[in-house]
Amino acid sequence: MRQALSLTIIFVTATAGGLTPRHAVGQHDPGRDAMKLIVKDKFKAGRERLAKPPKSQNSPISEAERNFVLAILDCQQGNQNEAIDHLQTAVSLGLPIERIVAGPRELFEPLQKNEAYAKWLAEKRKPLLHGPMLTSVTDTTAQFWVRTANPTQVTLSATTAGATSKTLPECSTATTAAEDYTGVIHLRNLKPNTQYLYQLSINGQPQTEQLKFRTMPTAGEPAKFEVGFGGGAGYTPQFNHMWTTLAKQAPAAFLMMGDNVYIDDPTHSMTQRYCYYRRQSEPLWKSFIASTAMYSIYDDHDFGVNDCIPGPEIDEPGWKRPVWEVFKQNWNNPAFGGGKQQPGCWYDFQIADVHFIMLDGRYYRDLKGGSMLGPVQREWLLTTLKNSTATFKVLASPVPWSPGVKPGSKDTWDGFNDEREQIFSFVHTNNIDGVMLLAADRHRSDLRRIPRAEGYDFNEVMSSRLTNVHTHSLVESAAGSEFVLGYNEKCSFGLLSFDTTASDPTIHYTIINIDGEQVGSATLKLSAMKNQ
């Protein structure tokens, strides 16, 4: 059955575009690359990496960041006075003081013996380092992730917005060193689709201005709302204003679909924390996540290395579980796979009558066994799909479902065709309507159609160039899938506007670039996502 599609293309542009170091440095990140050398005690090579000129005008390292990493180098080599000079210079150039306190903090412990430095840092440091990050919002609950300078209690006070505001009981969390000084505040007994104001405090002292968030529409009932999504968020300071563009769009939720930070160093937690702390200290990022419900999954560059295939075992290789632990400490999803017994990043959640099913495409990836998901996650997925009563089911993968979109590569679902076919056939055999596919990985924003001999054709929307410099070409001709629209001229994200109140419920997909311009759109209808 050929799927009907209401389509408006506003603007479409094409540009040219294993475990290889070529891809690992593709995000033009001298700070991250130097850190990967420092943790191996390759100090000379680290300095040389920082001294190299950028590969393009779009990939400079800021002087503040360069000084910060030089301070790490000097501190590791016992040059404490030089390290202090670099840190103070970095702060004078705009480095958030949170970077120094977060560290990784053990890197700068030797400097505390310098009384003048210790006094300088004490005068500038703040109790709240990272967050609040709004997460796991439902129609009656919300959660807030934070990281602090020391183990402490963080208190949240909230009121309903508007002229007749109502004060809610205070809630709090205790941050701990064991969880990298993070904690999560749970707010309950809220009203659906209602705006609230909130503020965080430590020891009675306010740590934020008055912030706001909105609860989701009533669970299970038809509604109108927007969800943004994207991946490919390399550290590129010149593109940090993407977070402001997203904050202005103000979707109900945002899905970070993988390659959320580019680490490419699974065996060294120090590098991983460096990359996370750098992102979480960015003022524009902090403003965005304080009022937008955030959800995340990982992909190769923030789980392992480029196109990694770690295998089916839980604790082999030995870096898998530690990487998962660091990931958990820096996000707060509704769940993390099957927990300690079955680590992963898969989970599901619902907004109104739309079901989001988020998949882990890396932890159990097994090319020899022919599975991207592993048997436990695959069974969970099929059961979740079969039991879902939602109008739309959004099936989110870190890599594309559509055949042929990464020519010559088996890193997408092309490398796991039998498992992909098992999932697709299960949808049709069990008469599961309203399934739409979501993915990232390719550095562009796309809409593609996957024709099916039985059942309905699948639509897949993709977006994975939130802040990346590197761009992937549009693939307009591929065996097994059809190109509908795409954009890759600038950084962009995908916006899904759901309207399940309509007689024929719709999903409107819009591509929005970093400057806030709508550059492509299409409307998908439930009537074209039915098996009969």
| pLDDT tens per residue across span 106-117 | 999 999 899 999
Instruction: Supply 9's token pair.
Output: 């293309």
What is the per-residue pLDDT across 79-97, written as a single tens digit (0 to 9) for each?
Answer: 999 999 999 999 999 999 9
* Beta carbons within 10 angstroms of residue 501's beta carbon: 14
Give the model's pLDDT for residue 73: 97
Q: Is the pLDDT of residue 6 over 60?
A: no
* Beta carbons within 10 angstroms of residue 329's beta carbon: 18
The enclosing H or E element of 244 equals helix 242-249
What is the per-residue pLDDT across 358-385, written as a single tens digit (0 to 9) for each?
Answer: 999 999 999 999 999 999 999 999 999 9
What is the dihedral angle through the alpha carbons of 183, 189, 192, 198, rounded to the nearest 10 degrees? -50
Q: State how far the Cα of 326 lies from the Cα of 526, in Å rounded to an integer.
A: 39
Q: Which residue has the higher pLDDT, 26 or 68?
A: 68
Lowest-confidence region among 7-11, 29-33, 120-124: 7-11
Which amino acid, 136? S
| CB contact at 8 A, 418 and 369 | no
The enclosing H or E element of 384 equals helix 375-387
Q: Is the pLDDT of residue 405 over 50?
A: yes
Give the model's pLDDT for residue 426: 98
pLDDT band per the 50, 70, 90 thresholds, residue 52? confident
| CB contact at 8 A, 436 and 227 | no
User: Torsions phi, psi of 197, nearest 5?
Assistant: -105, 145
Give the model's pLDDT for residue 529: 98
Report which of 24, 26, 37, 34 is spatially closest to residue 86, judged by C-alpha positions. Answer: 34
pLDDT band per the 50, 70, 90 thresholds, residue 162? confident
List, in sequence order, every residue forming a beta bridge with 523; answer none if it has no partner: 6, 508
pLDDT band per the 50, 70, 90 thresholds, residue 9? very low
Q: State how far the Cα of 22 lies from the Cα of 39, in Å rounded to an integer.
A: 20
Distances (CA, A) of 315 to 312, 337, 364: 9, 15, 10
Given the structure tokens 């992937």, which residue do they identify?
A: 472
Mean pLDDT of the chain: 93
Given the structure tokens 């890193």, which residue do they identify?
A: 411
Instruction: Supply 5's token pair.
Output: 């599609």
Q: State how far the Cα of 466 lies from the Cα of 230, in Å rounded to an integer.
A: 6
Query: What single string gives the DSSP state of each residue in 278-290?
Result: HHHT-HHHHHHHT
What are the chain's domains?
6-17+218-528 (3.60.21.70), 25-124 (no CATH), 140-214 (2.60.40.10)
pLDDT band per the 50, 70, 90 thresholds, residue 26? very low
| CB contact at 8 A, 443 and 486 | no
Lowest-confidence region among 58-62, 213-217, 304-308, 385-389: 58-62
